[in-house]
Amino acid sequence: MAESTPILRIEDLAVHFPQGGGLFGAPRMVRAVDGVDLTLARGECLGLVGESGCGKSTLALAVLGLQPPTRGRILVEGVEGAAAGAARKARARVAQMVFQDPYSSLNPRQSVRRTLEAPLRLHGVAGSEIDDRIAAMLKHVGLRPELADRYPHEFSGGQRQRIGIARALILEPRVVVLDEPVSALDVSIRAQIINLLLDLKERLGLSYIMISHDLGVVEHMSDRVAVMYLGRIVETGDWRDIFARPRHPYTRALIAAIPDPFEKKRTMRMTGEVPNPLAPPSGCRFHPRCPEAREACRAEPAPQLETIAAGHRVRCLRAAELAPAGETA
Amino acid sequence: MKFRANLWIGGALFATVVAAGALAPWLAHTDPVMDANLMNAELPPGAEFWFGADGQGRDIYSRVLYGARISLTVGVLSQLINTVIGVALGMSAGYWGGWWDDVVSGLTNMMLAIPSLVFALAIMAILSPGLTSLLIALGLTNWSYTCRLSRASTLSLKNLGYVQAARILGYGDLRIMLTQILPNILGPIIVIGTLGMGGAVLAEAALSFLGLGIRPPFPSWGSMLSDARDQITTAPWVSVFPGLAIFVTVLGLNLLGDGLRDILDPQSEARAR
C-alpha cells in the first residue's frame, strides 16, 4: 500500500452523550467514543472489532457525518469536512453504509429503481445518465437490470443485501462502512456477499470500514484490524499480526473465543460483563476482566497506545511481558 | 383474498350517500329551500312526496338529498384538515424529538382532555354559523388521535435502516419524512381518518341541531332534525328520514374504516390470524 495521504484520517475523535442530569447536578457523560485515532488507506479494509456497546457504531456514525463529534477531527483526503447542513450532501458522496439487516434497510414501498434513482436525482444527476448508472450498478452487484422495477419483498435476503450494497455505491463513494454486512444472512449466502464486497473493492477502488462480531469474516476480509473496548482502541495492526500474534489480553480473549475444533490452544477465559460506561474503571479500562491484570493496571493514568512492531500498536502496560514465547518484545 | 363484508357494505353505503349528494340536482323533485307550500305541510310519505313533507310543506326527500352535500363536505374536509394537522405535528414530533416533541405531546394531551364536541361548540359560539366555521371548528378539534398515531409510528420507523440510509445519502429531514416515513405510516392514518369522518358527520349534525352549524332553511340533516322535534309524535317521518340518512352515512363510514383497517393495518391482520 502506497504511503500517500490516507483516504480517511480520524484524529482524537470523541463522542460523549449526556446521560440523566436534570434539576440537580450536571448530567453524567457516556464516553461512547473517547479519543480514537485511526487512518484508513486507499483500497484498504479496516476491521473494527469489539463487543456490543464498545463504540464501534458511534464511531461509524461519526464517520458518516450523522453523529457530530464532541472533540477531534475527521479528515477526508487531508481535508476536514464541515459537520452538518449543506455538508451532508458532500459527505454523502464520500462515505456510505451497508446495513446489517437486509429487511429493515430497504423501504418496502420503493421499487429498486426508486431506491437508486432518488439519491442520484438529489445529487444532480439527470436524464439518461440515471438509467445508465442504475443498470451498471445492478450489474456490478450481480442483479439483472430487469429486476429494477420490483419491490423489496420480491427478493431474497441475499438479493436484498445486494440492493443495499447498490444503494451504498450508487453515489460512487470512496469509503463504505460495512455494519455487520453478512451476519443477518444465511450461511450459504455469506460467502457470495463477502466475495462480492471484495470484488467491488478492487474494481471500484473502495475503502472499507467493517464492523463485525464475526472474527472469521474479519480475518477473511480485513487488511488491518482495530480492536475497541469501551470507546478506545486497545490494539490495532495488520490482520496477520492481530490474528497470529495478538498482544492485548482482550484481543487474545476475543480470538480464543473463536470456535476452533482443530487447534488445542490454552483458551483464555474472559469473565464478567462490559463495565457501565457511565463509570468506567480507573486506569486500564479492561483490568476488571483481565486475567493478566496487576496492581499497576488499576492505577491512573490509563495506558497509551504504544507501537510494539511496525504498524502494530497496543494499549497495555504489560505488552512487553505478555509477548508470546519465542518472540522478543 | 377473502370477501370482506364490512369493507364492501360500508363502501356501498358510503358510495350511495356520495352519489345522492353529487346527483342531488337531478334526483331531487323540488328545490330544497324555495319550494315551500303550507298546503302540503306534514303530508305523509306517498307518491308525490316519497319521504313526506315537512312543517312548511317542503319535500323531505329532496332536502335529505341536498343535506348529504353538507354532511359529506363537512365530514370529508374537516377530517382532511385534522389529518394534515395530526400527521404534520405527529410526524415532526416523532422525528425531531426534543423540545418540539414535548410541545406537541403536551398539546395533544390537552386536546384529548377536552371533549372535542364541547370545544367545537365553543368555537362555533365565537364564529358566525356557516360552512367555513363548521370546517374550522371540526377541523381543529379532532387531530389528536392522528397525531399520536403518527408520532408513535414515526418513532418506530425513524431508526430503521432505510431511514438512516436516506440520511446518509444526504436527504433533508423534510424529504425523509415525506418519502421514507409517510408512505409507511399512511395505512393506519387513513383508517383513523375514515372512522373520524363518521364522527365529524355526527358532530356536524349535533352542532346544526343546536343551531350552531348550518342555519335553516338550508337543509342540513341536523337542522332538519331540530326543526322536526316538535312534530315527532304527529309527523314522525319529518325526523325519521334525516335521522336515517345520518345513521346510514355514519354506519357506512365506520364499516368502511373497519374494512380498510383489515387491509391496511398489518397489526390487526396479524391479530386476526
Note the pLDDT tens digit of each residue in B83-100.
999 999 999 999 999 999
A270: pLDDT strictly greater than 50: yes
Q: Which residue of A has its CA nearest to B169?
A: A92
* B175 and B213 assigned to the same domain: yes
- Give me the pLDDT at residue A1, please: 44
How far is Cα B100 from Cα A22, in angstroms, rounded to an integer? 18
* B104 and B167 assigned to the same domain: yes
Min distance B151 CA to chain A CA atoms (Å): 19
- Give me the pLDDT at residue A2, please: 46
Q: Which residues of A touch B177 (CB under 8 A)?
A: none
- Give me the pLDDT at residue B267, please: 53
Contacts with A70 (C-beta within 8 Å, 6 or more apart), sequence order? A14, A15, A16
**Which pairing describes strands A224-229 and A45-49: parallel, antiparallel, or unpaired?**
parallel
* B87 and B212 assigned to the same domain: yes
**Is residue B38 classed as helix, strand or coil in its secondary structure?**
helix
Q: Cβ–Cβ of B184/A92 closer than 8 Å? A: no
Q: Which residue of B has its CA nearest to A88?
A: B170
> The domain spanning residue B203 has which CATH number?
1.10.3720.10
How far is Cα A204 from Cα A198, in angstroms, rounded to an integer? 10
Q: Cβ–Cβ of B161/A88 closer than 8 Å? A: no
Of A92, A97, A108, the CB nearest to B170: A92
Helices (H), chain B: 5-22, 24-27, 60-96, 98-113, 116-126, 131-139, 144-157, 161-168, 173-175, 182-209, 221-228, 237-264, 266-272
**Is residue A312 classed as helix, strand or coil in its secondary structure?**
strand
Which of A97, A107, A161, A169 is the best mutation test for B, with the most CBs of B within 10 A? A107
Residue with more model confidence, B185 or A86: B185
A265: pLDDT strictly greater than 60: no
* B136 and B179 assigned to the same domain: yes
> Could you count the other beta carbons within 10 Å of the beta carbon of residue B91?
25
Of B167, B175, B183, the CB nearest to A66: B167
Average pLDDT, chain A: 85
Q: Cβ–Cβ of A107/B171 closer than 8 Å? A: no
Q: Which of A306, A178, A291, A311 is nearest to A234 (CA)?
A: A306
Min distance A132 CA to chain B CA atoms (Å): 19
Which of B162, B164, B171, B184 is the best mutation test for A, with the most CBs of A within 10 A? B162
* B119 and B242 assigned to the same domain: no
Kindly indicate the confidence band of residue B271, based on its pLDDT and cuts at 50, 70 and 90. very low
* B208 and B96 assigned to the same domain: yes
How far is Cα B224 from Cα B211, in angstroms, rounded to an integer? 10
> Could you count the other beta carbons within 10 Å of the beta carbon of residue A118?
20
* B236 and B104 assigned to the same domain: no
Of A109, A118, A167, the CB nearest to B184: A109
Kindly indicate the confidence band of residue B265, based on its pLDDT and cuts at 50, 70 and 90. low
Angle at B154 between CA B149 and CA B157, to 5 degrees: 130
* B7 and B98 assigned to the same domain: no
Q: Cβ–Cβ of B183/A167 closer than 8 Å? A: no
In a domain, B44, yes or no: no
> Could you count the other beta carbons within 10 Å of the beta carbon of residue B191?
22
**Which pairing describes strands A45-49 and A207-212: parallel, antiparallel, or unpaired?**
parallel
Write down the pTM of the prediction. 0.84
- Give me the pLDDT at residue B168, please: 92
Q: Which of A148, A156, A61, A152 is nearest to A106 (CA)?
A: A152
Q: Side-chain half-sphere of A325: how many Cα atoms within 13 Å?
A: 0
A99: pLDDT strictly greater than 90: yes
How far is Cα B138 from Cα B79, in angstroms, rounded to an integer? 8
Of A101, A105, A119, the CB nearest to B169: A119
A53: pLDDT strictly greater than 80: no
* B148 and B272 assigned to the same domain: no
How far is Cα B69 from Cα B221, in angstroms, rounded to an integer? 10
ipTM for the complex shown = 0.86
How far is Cα A2 from Cα B240, in angstroms, rounded to an integer? 90
- Give me the pLDDT at residue A253, please: 87
Kindly indicate the confidence band of residue A329, based on its pLDDT and cuts at 50, 70 and 90. very low
Q: Which residues of B touch A91 (CB under 8 A)?
A: 170
- pLDDT, average across residues A94-109: 92
- Give me the pLDDT at residue B255, please: 92
In a domain, B252, yes or no: no
In a domain, B156, yes or no: yes
Kindly indicate the confidence band of residue A264, based on its pLDDT and cuts at 50, 70 and 90. low
**Is residue A237 classed as helix, strand or coil in its secondary structure?**
strand
The CA dihedral of B230, B233, B234, B237, to the nearest 10 degrees, is: 90
pLDDT tens for A176-202 read: 999 999 988 988 899 999 999 999 999
Of B161, B168, B172, the CB nearest to A64: B168
In a domain, B128, yes or no: yes
- Give me the pLDDT at residue A276, please: 78
Q: Which of B159, B179, B174 is nearest to A115 (CA)?
A: B179
Kindly indicate the confidence band of residue A76, based on its pLDDT and cuts at 50, 70 and 90. confident
How far is Cα A209 from Cα A175, in angstroms, rounded to an integer? 7
How far is Cα A6 from Cα A4, in angstroms, rounded to an integer? 6
How far is Cα A91 from Cα A79, in angstroms, rounded to an integer? 12
**Is residue A186 classed as helix, strand or coil in its secondary structure?**
coil
* B163 and B236 assigned to the same domain: no
- pLDDT, average across residues B45-71: 83
In a domain, B101, yes or no: yes
* B209 and B94 assigned to the same domain: yes
Q: Cβ–Cβ of A100/B161 closer than 8 Å? A: yes
Per DSSP, B177 falls in state I
- Give me the pLDDT at residue A25, please: 67
Interchain CB contact of B264 with A (< 8 Å): no
Interchain CB contact of B15 with A (< 8 Å): no
Interchain CB contact of B179 with A (< 8 Å): yes
Q: Side-chain half-sphere of B168: how many Cα atoms within 13 Å?
A: 29
How far is Cα B43 from Cα B237, in angstroms, rounded to an integer? 9
Beta carbons of B257 and B191 less than 8 angstroms apart: yes
- Give me the pLDDT at residue B273, please: 38
Q: Which of A118-122, A166-170, B182-186, B207-211 comes out lowest in average pLDDT?
A: B207-211
Domain extent, residue B161, equals: 77-218
CA A270, A209, A47, A235 dihedral sign is negative
- Give me the pLDDT at residue A167, please: 96
Min distance B7 CA to chain A CA atoms (Å): 23
Average pLDDT, chain B: 87
Residue with more model confidence, A327 or B171: B171
Of B161, B164, B179, the CB nearest to A118: B179
**Is residue B227 classed as helix, strand or coil in its secondary structure?**
helix
Residue with more model confidence, B24 or B163: B163
* Total count of domains within chain B: 2
- Give me the pLDDT at residue A23, please: 63
Q: Cβ–Cβ of A106/B161 closer than 8 Å? A: yes
- A50 φψ region: left (φ > 0), alpha (ψ -120 to 50), beta (else): left
In a domain, B253, yes or no: no
* B151 and B264 assigned to the same domain: no
pLDDT tens for B91-133 read: 999 999 999 999 999 999 999 999 888 888 888 889 888 888 8
In a domain, B145, yes or no: yes
Q: Which residues of A touch B178 (CB under 8 A)?
A: none
In a domain, B206, yes or no: yes
**Is residue A178 classed as helix, strand or coil in its secondary structure?**
strand
A325: pLDDT strictly greater than 60: no
Interchain CB contact of B156 with A (< 8 Å): no
Contacts with A208 (C-beta within 8 Å, 6 or more apart), sequence order? A44, A45, A46, A175, A176, A177, A178, A197, A201, A221
Cell numbers placing B272? 386476526
For residue B1, the surrounding DSSP H or E stretch is none
Look-up of cell digits 358566525:
B128
Interchain CB contact of B178 with A (< 8 Å): no
